[in-house]
């Protein structure tokens, strides 16, 4: 899928930009229709490592509408590997379109209750098959971080002073910190409520020489928690599509774009800042909405 990187481009946001402060979006969502956005970067080294270790199966974790689950299922199949997805919830969530898509790519789905899901070590220990290669939820881990470091070299990002992305596990942001040039400000917009441990989780992914690299996390735009999407956010997504033809999702990218616009209105950024928003791809969460909610589904 290396040739897919040619599809990435930078889109100027006309409704966000001012004369002396351009705002652009790095369209990682255009990489691949399934292994979308940052998933392409975060999964690549895991898959290479699994093949090098002669593993035959990828096993990973996610929810019913997980971008990571469907991307891992497709990428495993494309790499000649089997896949297992340990899904948070019971068999009722099997009807989710995302899981049906993952199953169509050959992923075996195993449903676990929320308490078991939180204790992922117990799931791993219960499946001691030496042919399984484990990838944590969202691709969290050093190899995922190293892969995400390639995001900033997928286009010319050297002129930007501020680079923002949505933050779930923090894997992508840690990659951006690895790759940032001196003087570039890396900011994450947390999509989870009470995500107090995220800074430490991100630093744990950085090498010893990078753990003191500066970055910041803004916790003010989670809209009530993971995947919460009040009417205000839906209206914003529709307006963003109508003005910029930019599709976003209810979990990550809509909150990133909303935060950026709000901070611009509040003069958060210094004069002549050049701002880049990283579109992390993946619109699976939108399929949980009633049909017709968004004009770009």
CATH of the domain at 258: 3.40.50.1100
- Given a cut of 70, is residue 199 above it in pLDDT? yes
Band (pLDDT 50/70/90 cuts) for residue 94 is confident
Q: Which residue did the predictor score with more confidence, 162 or 6?
A: 162
The CB-based long-range contact list for 129-134 (8 Å cut-off, 24+ gap) reads: 129/57, 131/55, 131/56, 131/57, 132/55, 132/57, 132/58, 132/59, 132/84, 133/46, 133/49, 133/50, 133/53, 133/55, 133/57, 133/58, 133/59, 133/81, 134/59, 134/60
pTM: 0.95
Amino acid 1: pLDDT: 53
Same domain flag for 282 and 229: yes
Band (pLDDT 50/70/90 cuts) for residue 7 is confident
Amino acid 112: pLDDT: 95
Q: Which residue did the predictor score with more confidence, 213 or 153?
A: 153
Q: Which residue did the predictor score with more confidence, 2 or 24?
A: 24
Same domain flag for 135 and 213: no
In a domain, 296, yes or no: no
Strand 23-27 vs strand 275-279: parallel, antiparallel, or unpaired? parallel
Same domain flag for 146 and 257: yes
Between 1-10, 14-23, 32-41, 157-166, the lowest mean confidence (pLDDT) is in 1-10
Same domain flag for 209 and 269: yes
Calculate what percentage of the chain has a pLDDT beyond 90: 91
Which whole number is the average pLDDT over 28-39?
A: 94
Q: Which two tokens stand for residue 276?
A: 């880049």
Same domain flag for 201 and 128: no
For 225-278, write each residue's pLDDT tens digit: 999 999 999 999 999 999 999 999 999 999 999 999 999 999 999 999 999 999
- Given a cut of 70, is residue 3 above it in pLDDT? no
Report yes or no: 246 and 281 within 8 Å, Cβ to Cβ: no
Amino acid 19: pLDDT: 84
Amino acid 2: pLDDT: 53
Of the three residues 139, 172, 190, the one that is the final residue of a domain is 139
In a domain, 293, yes or no: no
Of the three residues 87, 122, 139, the one that is the final residue of a domain is 139
Q: What is the domain range of residue 184?
A: 2-37+142-288
Domain total of the chain? 2
Band (pLDDT 50/70/90 cuts) for residue 4 is low
Measured CA to CA, the distance from residue 22 to residue 32 in angstroms comes to 27
């Amino acid at each position: 899928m290396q040739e897919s990187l040619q599809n990435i481009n930078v889109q100027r946001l006309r409704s966000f930009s001012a004369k002396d402060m351009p705002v652009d979006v790095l369209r990682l969502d255009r990489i691949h229709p399934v292994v979308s956005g940052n998933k392409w970067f975060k999964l690549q080294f895991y898959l290479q490592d699994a093949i090098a270790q002669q593993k035959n199966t990828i096993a990973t974790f996610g929810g019913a509408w997980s971008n990571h689950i469907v991307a891992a299922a497709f990428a495993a199949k494309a790499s000649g590997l089997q896949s297992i997805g340990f899904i948070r919830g019971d068999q009722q969530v099997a009807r989710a379109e995302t899981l049906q898509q993952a199953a169509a790519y050959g992923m075996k789905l195993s449903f676990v209750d929320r308490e078991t899901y939180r204790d992922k070590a117990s799931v791993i220990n219960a499946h001691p098959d030496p042919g399984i290669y484990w990838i944590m939820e969202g691709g969290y881990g050093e190899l995922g971080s190293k892969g995400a470091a390639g995001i900033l070299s997928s286009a010319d990002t050297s002129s930007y002073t501020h680079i923002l992305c949505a933050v779930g596990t923090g894997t992508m942001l840690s990659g951006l910190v690895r790759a940032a040039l001196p003087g570039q400000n890396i900011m994450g917009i947390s999509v989870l409520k009470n995500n107090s441990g995220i800074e430490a989780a991100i630093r744990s992914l950085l090498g010893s020489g990078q753990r003191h690299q500066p970055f910041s996390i803004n916790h003010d735009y989670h809209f009530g928690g993971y995947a919460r999407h009040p009417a205000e956010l839906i209206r914003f997504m529709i307006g963003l599509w109508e003005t910029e033809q930019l599709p976003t999702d209810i979990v990550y990218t809509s909150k990133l774009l909303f935060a950026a616009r709000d901070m611009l209105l509040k003069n958060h950024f210094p004069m002549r800042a050049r701002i880049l928003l990283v579109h992390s791809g993946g619109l699976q969460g939108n399929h949980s909405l009633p049909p017709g909610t968004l004009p770009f589904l």
